[in-house]
Amino acid sequence: MAFVSLSYALFLLIVLLLYWICEQERLRLIVLLGASVVFFATQAKGAMAVYLPLFIASTLVNFYFGRALDQKVIQPEHAGDKDLSNEAWQSAQVLWNEKRRWYLIAGIVLNVVVLFGFKYVPFVLNSLGELLQQPGLLASAEAVSSSLIVPLGISYFTFESIAYLVDVYRGTPATPSLLRFTTYKLFFAKLVSGPITRYHSLSPQWRDRVFPTPEQITDALWLIARGAAKKAILADQLGVIVRLGFGNLERAGSLDIWMLTLGYGLQLYLDFSGYVDIARGSAKLLGLELPENFNSPYFSTSIADFWRRWHMTLGDWLRNYLYFPLGGSRKSLQRTCINLMIIMVIAGIWHDASWGFVVWGAIHGAALVVHRLTAELGKQRPALAAWWESTPGLVSAWGITQILVFFSWLFFALPEVSQAWMALMHLFGHSADAQFAQKVYGEVTGLSRGQIGLLLTMISGAMAALYGIKRSIKVDLNWPIKLSLVPLLLYGVWQLGQEGATPYIYFNF
């Protein structure tokens, strides 16, 4: 069941009717849980149904680990012992805190093992087989890869579980309600591709149910229509060009590779942000607020700023549950730079099991290190810091940031290192096959190379214009205008969208 489909519209309508009819919170949660099970079971043409027991078992394990971690004082058998001396009491408390720490470690390890087992075993076996020249390992990797389908959403599911356990360990109360926790874990609007949502930000919204106002309903419908338009009208059409071009990489010229890289970066943003728009709009109709995940990332003026705007819930997770525990920037500059490299390499491998994603993460990690070193240099040389804040400096910073970001997307689009290396070798001074533009572009899309370049320029220009208007005027469309645009956008999706649902790019991650 794809987000951009009539089946999802009917599904959401039924869920809304049942949800708002129910007065009791328990019944509402049962409705959402049942709907989430149906939604997940219908993904990938029903192939995901087999993984429901895995997700439910993982939910139970994390729920009970959270309950165990919620005890912040010594165990109950000591709590009523009035004969314990102060020293013995403190010693018992230290032992219990140590046990809680081991509970946390065990919970995190179990979550990581499940993620690793389903997502990374073929990659590790294949890498070891190539390194050690062992055909047996390569054959095992191929056998595992061909027989195993990675469960959709398992990366998001794992990160949310780890966040919940860490939050409880740090002092946030664990939930006593298995139903509420299970509904949170399997909530259909965010299950497959996020946004990564913390339990303690979503759960109170079920207790404090408030029927959305007309303005909120309009905002929700606007998000859904906008997200569908991003996906069906723009991202999917760009995807046709990108797949054709990168699928014939050996025939492409340097200009083609640059255009395809720009096209892929735009497609990825429109595809993923469109998904999140529909997820957030669906949740709003249920009276729930999911976190935002994008804030005009292609207008960032530094790589650190980019990560405050791109996939914001992932960036927040990396900071709170990895970067800060590693020491963040509280230690030496050298340790800070090492921490930045570690978290970005992990961010790369989190997306998918491929060396291309490791390279992508390393590029962003190195860029963050350079940004950090530049910031430290700016503290010593105020004139340098002032220049970066000037108009020429900001324009230069924006240009450098976007060149780096779009260059790194090559390793997203071509995660096989051999393909990415071919693209890199052809980035400059390489002529396309004489019939490349006609055969690859013209016969399928009906567009010439120049027309495709114009299309990419127009999309980029429209995004820049919308960003400039929003930033300068600092106003949003009022709800009557949004409401009037909703049917126009949906009609455009119906008329211009491709037949059949094209999977979201981040479903692969």
Predicted pLDDT of residue 500:
65
Rg (CA), the chain: 25
**Contact call for residues 235 and 507 (beta carbons, < 8 A):** no
Predicted pLDDT of residue 258:
94
Predicted pLDDT of residue 75:
54
CA distance 504 to 509: 10
Predicted pLDDT of residue 135:
84
Q: Mean pLDDT per 10-residue run, the chain (509 residues)? A: 89 96 92 95 84 94 94 57 67 81 95 92 86 84 80 92 95 94 95 92 86 92 95 93 90 92 96 95 95 94 95 94 89 92 94 91 96 89 86 93 95 90 91 83 83 93 89 76 90 83 77
Predicted pLDDT of residue 74:
57
What are the phi and psi torsion angles at 19 (to 5°)?
-65, -45
Predicted pLDDT of residue 190:
93
Q: What is the pTM of this model?
A: 0.92
| Distance, first Cα to last Cα, the chain | 18
Select from 72, 74, 70 the least CA-distant residue to 88: 74
Which tokens go with 20?
A: 């708002």
Cα dist. 470→50, 311, 466 in Å? 45, 20, 6
